[in-house]
A and B are shown apart, each in its own frame.
Chain A
Amino acid sequence: MSGWQDHLLIAPILLPMLAGIAAILIGDRSRTATRAVGLASCLGLVALSAALLAMADAPLVRVYRLGDWPAAFGIVLALDRLAALMLALAAALGLAAFVFSLARWQRAGSHVHPLFQFQLMGLNGAFLTGDLFNLFVFFEVMLAASYGLALHGSGIARVRAGLHYIVVNLVASLLFLVGVSVVHGIAGTHNMADLAARMPRIAPEDRALLEAGAAILLIAFLITAASWPLGFWLMPSYAAASAPAAPARRR
């Protein structure tokens, strides 16, 4: 916990959050101001992720302790090469989707800009977090924003597809919770690094249960990411969503 560089780690979460709040406060009073805030946040995220990408090499894993609790008790953010790369990818895609959405789509309904920023916040948080339960929380932030984006523009086709999308993802997040709690019950920790260290020392009779928990987690991830073979729900939902919302919804 020294130097301003360490605090850069939380900036990809804070920046879109503040931009989203600003976009809500400005509302529809000034379209130009909302657009400028969104664009500034997206550009800032690209710059931030480039800086983090350059930083990711020096210590192999950079850890940011939220609230400065020791890692076993508190929640940590961790930046490694993969996280930095995913952040950069999300920032680039986010900027592209945002610029595209400026063309027309924001007029199709209200609150696109705050929802978009909160989605970026959830996405960045999910990449950065080093804690399994915190990952769940950021997933929910991302999903809650994506529910709004999926319905953006309204219309019967979108509402119908959005209903299916939301129910499927709610069930997936319940599965996620079951997986997390099984893993916690067996291994006694949520911290991903701690989990990896404890994994080899699990008693053989508990091993099957732990693997079952990990499998449930995997199923939850497969459903939310709509990977084969659990992507059956994806087609109607994406076909119905407004064009700039779809690429923003998944990395």
Chain B
Amino acid sequence: MELVVSLAIGVLAGAGVWLLLRPRTFQVILGLGLLSHAVNLFIFSTGGLRSGAAPILRRGEAGTLADYADPLPQALVLTAIVISFATTALLLVVPLAARGLAGTDHVDGRERDR
């Protein structure tokens, strides 16, 4: 499971960084989305990767560290998803305005001279 999750994080982060460095605003936005997915997965994985482990024990149940999931990263990842989603939505307004003002979707607001 560790291998699959770390591969997923790596691929998402790599693709995100590549897209972030592209010259079109649409690609930059997609790149930010992928990067924040990678970061969210990363936060989730810091709580330890276990399947079938409960974060909250039933009354009277004696928990051991082996079958216990840390609930805090799960709460944090929720906050992180909401915040990164909201800021990306906020960002969307700016490329639209730039497209209208500059007439191009290049991140510098003008095409590079060829």
Query: B95: which A residues are within 8 A, CB to CB?
Result: 163
Q: Which residue of B lies closest to A184 (CB)?
A: B46
Q: Is the interface of A mostly helix, strand, loop or mixed?
A: helix
Does A147 count as interface, using CB distance less than 8 angstroms?
yes
Minimum Cβ distance to chain A for residue B89 (Å)? 11
Query: A163: which B residues are within 8 A, CB to CB?
Result: 25, 91, 94-95, 98, 107
Does B83 count as interface, using CB distance less than 8 angstroms?
yes
Query: Within residues 126 to 152 of chain A, which ones have a CB less than 8 A from any CB in chain B?
Result: 133, 136-137, 140, 143-144, 147, 151
Does A170 count as interface, using CB distance less than 8 angstroms?
yes
Most buried by B among A140, A156, A170: A170
Does A166 count as interface, using CB distance less than 8 angstroms?
yes
Query: B43: which A residues are within 8 A, CB to CB?
Result: 177-178, 181
Chain B interface residue count, CB cutoff 8 Å, equals 32
Query: A177: which B residues are within 8 A, CB to CB?
Result: 39, 43, 80
Q: Mark A108-142, 1 if CB is under 8 A from B, else 0.
A: 00000000000000000000000001001100100
Most buried by A among B36, B39, B91, B94: B94
Q: Which of B80, B88, B101, B109 sits near A170, CB closer than 8 Å?
A: B88
Does B76 count as interface, using CB distance less than 8 angstroms?
yes
Known: A164-B107, A173-B87, A174-B84. A184 touches B102 (CB 8 A): no
Chain A interface residue count, CB cutoff 8 Å, equals 30
State in angstroms the CA–CA spacing of A179 and B103 once bound together.
38
State in angstroms the CA–CA spacing of A184 and B73 once bound together.
8
Minimum Cβ distance to chain A for residue B38 (Å)? 8
Q: Mark A149-179, 1 if CB is under 8 A from B, else 0.
A: 0010011100110111011001101100110
Does B108 count as interface, using CB distance less than 8 angstroms?
yes
Q: Mark B82-114, 1 if CB is under 8 A from A, else 0.
A: 011011101100110110011000011100000
A174 B39 Cβ-Cβ under 8 A: yes
B94 A162 Cβ-Cβ under 8 A: yes
Query: A143: which B residues are within 8 A, CB to CB?
Result: 87
Q: Which of A159, A174, A190 sits near B98, CB closer than 8 Å?
A: A159
